[in-house]
Each structure stands twice: as C-alpha cells, then as structure tokens.
Structure 1
C-alpha cells in the first residue's frame, strides 16, 4: 500500500492510498473492514498495469468518524469524488466488496460517464432476509463492551473456513480500529441505518460492463450461486462463482480471482487518457 492520503468531503475526510500508472481502478471495502482487505488483489492489478486507489469507508480505518451519514449512497458519493480527483479526464473501474459493491453499483447508475466497468465481489446489492442466529450476532456485535471483539469473530465466519494465512493480523487491525469510540459509533451507525433498497431500485440503470464474483459458500446468502445469477442477469454481467470461497473470494482465493479480474479489465480495453 502507498502512503495514506485524504480527500475532503462534507463532514470529514475519507482516507485512501494510490499507486501505479495507467487506467485508474478504485477498490472499495465492505462494511466493518479496512482497505487492507485488498492486500492480495491490489498488487495483482498493479502488476497488470493499472493505477490502483484503495479507500477506507467513512468512519473506518484512517477515515474520519464524525460524518452525519453512512451507507451505500454516501460511500458512492465519496468514491465518485475520488474518481473525479484522481482521473478527471477518463472513466474508471470501480471494485467493491459486500456493501462496497452496492455503493459502486449506485455510483455507476448515478454517473455512467465516470464508470468504465464494475467488479462486484461478494456483492450485497439488495436487502436479504437475516437468519435469527445472524440477527442475534448482529445485536451482540453492536453492544459494547464486547462488540468490537464480536464483529471480527463473526467476520471470520464469512470466510467459510478458508481465511487467508495472515487473517489473524488483519483481524487485529479491525479490532484496533473498532476500539476507538468514535469509529465504533460510526460502525454502529453504518449497520443500523444500512439498506440496499435504493441501490436495488437502480440496478436496471447500470450500463457499464460488470463482473460478479461470488463465493459458493458465502454465508450471507441462502443460495449464493442463485444470487450471483440474479445479479448477473439483472446487470448483463459476467459471473464467476468460486465453489469453496466465502464472502471475500478475492482474499481466500486470490490465485483464481485476481487473474479473472485482470482478464475482465483487459477486455474493457481501458485507456488512462480516454
């Protein structure tokens, strides 16, 4: 990762880093995670000749935690502002995981001229029913003092038993971030106000080429392959289901997912000065 920088937004600053030369690809993490979740995919994109910007969500990581609004649409607006700042003359590729995928979908519907393509990793693009067990875990995860430890423990289950070798280090980063009271409040505000309904309502407006990557064992969905097929059909997107992966296929299966993403980007024939 490059040095942390910040973009000024109404209500605070959003952290990002950027490296490389070439067409811009912006990587957006999921709720409760940090931009280091792209520690595998980012270097693969750099090696393939792209300029890579990786952002923290509002209230997460190195971003400020005093915003008035969180969720899909504020995140999308932050991402578009970053794209405008870093690549004012050429459309960019947006990559999002989980809630981040919903946010980049909204960005593509809102500003089609700025989005050359979408990569959606473990995407949650519509509201899905929550199981009673998950509901209990989420309530526990939002309750101090144990919440900052519960969330990283729950997040590990999203890997479906296949976390990467350095996942303990990454979990420690997340725990350290959530121990900060302001970031805990921001995370809680993100969870309690989050709805993907505005994004789902605009999926039909998206014309950018898209790649949907889903883990076949993603516990966020009753039938992950069916969810991927629905989103792929809705967007006219390419679909890749990795049967043994969980909610983070780019982290638990980088040797397959990274090449699939770079091959998709190559088919877009992007230019940095388009």
Structure 2
C-alpha cells in the first residue's frame, strides 16, 4: 500500500492511505495506536462501496513529530484538512478512542464537511483518573522502557477476542514509539483533555453511531458511558459483548455489518 502525505508546513506531515471508490470515510485512531487499527474495517467498507482514508495522528506511525498541539482539536483539524485535500468531501468520520473526540469536534465546527459519525470505544469527555493512575501512566511512558511497556499494556484492551495478528500490531506500535521523537509526542498526547469535544456534543447535527465494547476497561461502567455518548448525540447504539476498547478489531463480525448498515442509511437519507 502506498503511503501518502498531507503537508502541514515547517517540514511536518501527516501520513495517510486511501482505498476504494465512492463516498468518503475518514478513520481517526486513538493515542498510542496506528491507522492500521482499522485493518479489519477498511476492507468491509471498501467492499460496501466507500472510499476510505485512514491517517496516523501527529507523532504516531509514519507522521511527523514537532507539532505545537496533539489534542482532539489538532486531530480534528488534520481530518478536516485531509477531507479538503481529497476533494472536499463531505465525509463520514470513523473515530476510535481519542479519535472519537476529534470527530465530534470536527462535526461541530464544520457540519457541512461531515455527513456522519461512527464512534468506536469513544472518548468524548475526560475519565476520572486518580493521581496514582496518572502517575502510573507517566512512569510507563518514560524512556527506555516506554515503547515496550505500552505495547505490552496495549494487549489488555483486547479482553475477549484478540485478533490473531495482535502480536504483530503490538510490534508495529513498539517500533513506531522507538522512531523519531514519537514517545515524547505520545506523552504529550496523553496529557491532553477531551473537554473541547464534550463542550460541543450538543452542537453536532450529523447522524451518529456509537459502538462500545462491554468490557472496555477505560470506564468503570462502559455501558453507562456508551449510553451517555449516544444520548448526547441522539445516536444509534451498538454494545459489543466480550469486547474491549477496540471492538472493530475484536469483533469485526459484529461491528462491520453495523457500520455498513448505518452508513447505508445515512447515504439513503441524503
């Protein structure tokens, strides 16, 4: 697959790839991950007649470091500029984890550019973390053990049905964090807030789908959090049994049909 780049100025760039033809869908991944987290999602959407672009967030994967911001607003800006770069859209946004917060921000700020939101394991507000938990995350992301520690910890987010290639995906994450200044970028990203997304939930007018794994360990009650997000966005809700923070990778057999059906309804309505 060819890697393309979106120029962000001052020698910085965002890496992305595009597959398929048809209405545009743009995938936004979470912090400490890669665009390949959608590796089971993209083929299903391409087969359903969509053009799908996924990109590595700032300081992740094949994208550059050295940005002034790494938060939801920055990722949303990159997504909207990528839509413009690919022909102006509009596009459906597929946001996983932190990418969901960025998708919400983008939809609120430029509603004409966003046809729909599909949010997977969404972070659209800040979780309540103890001082001890914040310290643990900070220590885990230190050199020299940071890349290996995060790649190993990452497996915990797949509690029910980890994909057969999870070890290979963990290795890609580990290698990414060891390249350039990606570990420092990740630490900066981890310290950002989802408040800008939460503040804009009521301003989103695009149709939305919320998909949450019932064992998502980022929330003490993931089902309650999923319902909060769905109610805030007047969204459809899909709860995925025996899945964690990456339901699209653990249960593509359940998530892909839900995504295709949702996007099909949005297209028919348009």
SS of alignment partner, residue 127 of structure 2 = coil
Matched, 1:246 2:244: yes
User: How big is the shift at 1:104?
Assistant: 0.5
Unaligned runs of 5+ in 2: none
Q: Give the match for residue 85 of structure 1.
A: 85
Q: Give the match for residue 61 of structure 1.
A: 61
Q: In the comparison of the two structures, how many residue pairs are matched?
A: 269
Q: Give the match for residue 208 of structure 1.
A: 206
- Which deviates the most, 99-108 or 139-148? 139-148
TM-score with structure 2 length normalisation? 0.96
Contact kept, 8 Å, 1:158 with 1:246, in 2: the verdict is yes
Q: Deviations over 1:80-113 (max 9, x none)?
A: 000111132x411000100001001000000000
Q: Deviations over 1:141-186 (max 9, x none)?
A: 2211111111112211111243211000000000001112411111
Matched, 1:230 2:228: yes
User: How big is the shift at 1:139?
Assistant: 2.0
TM-score with structure 1 length normalisation? 0.94
Contact kept, 8 Å, 2:160 with 2:250, in 1: the verdict is no
User: How big is the shift at 1:10?
Assistant: 4.0
- Which deviates the most, 72-81 or 147-156? 147-156
**RMSD of aligned residue pairs (Cα, Å):** 1.5
User: How big is the shift at 1:132?
Assistant: 6.2
Unaligned runs of 5+ in 1: none
Q: Give the match for residue 29 of structure 1.
A: 29
Q: Name the CA distance, whole Å, in 1 between partners of 2:85 and 2:234.
A: 29
- Which deviates the most, 133-142 or 94-103? 133-142
User: How big is the shift at 1:253?
Assistant: 0.3
Alignment of 1:124-203 (within 5 A): 124-131=123-130, 134-192=133-191, 194-203=192-201
- Which deviates the most, 41-50 or 63-72? 63-72
Q: Deviations over 1:101-135 (max 9, x none)?
A: 10010000000000000000000100011256643
Q: Give the match for residue 115 of structure 1.
A: 114
Q: Name the CA distance, whole Å, in 2 between partners of 1:209 and 1:71.
A: 24
SS of alignment partner, residue 239 of structure 2 = strand
- In structure 2, the CA distance between the partners of 1:66 and 1:155, relative to structure 1 (3 Å rule), is same
- In structure 2, the CA distance between the partners of 1:213 and 1:133, relative to structure 1 (3 Å rule), is farther
SS of alignment partner, residue 122 of structure 2 = coil
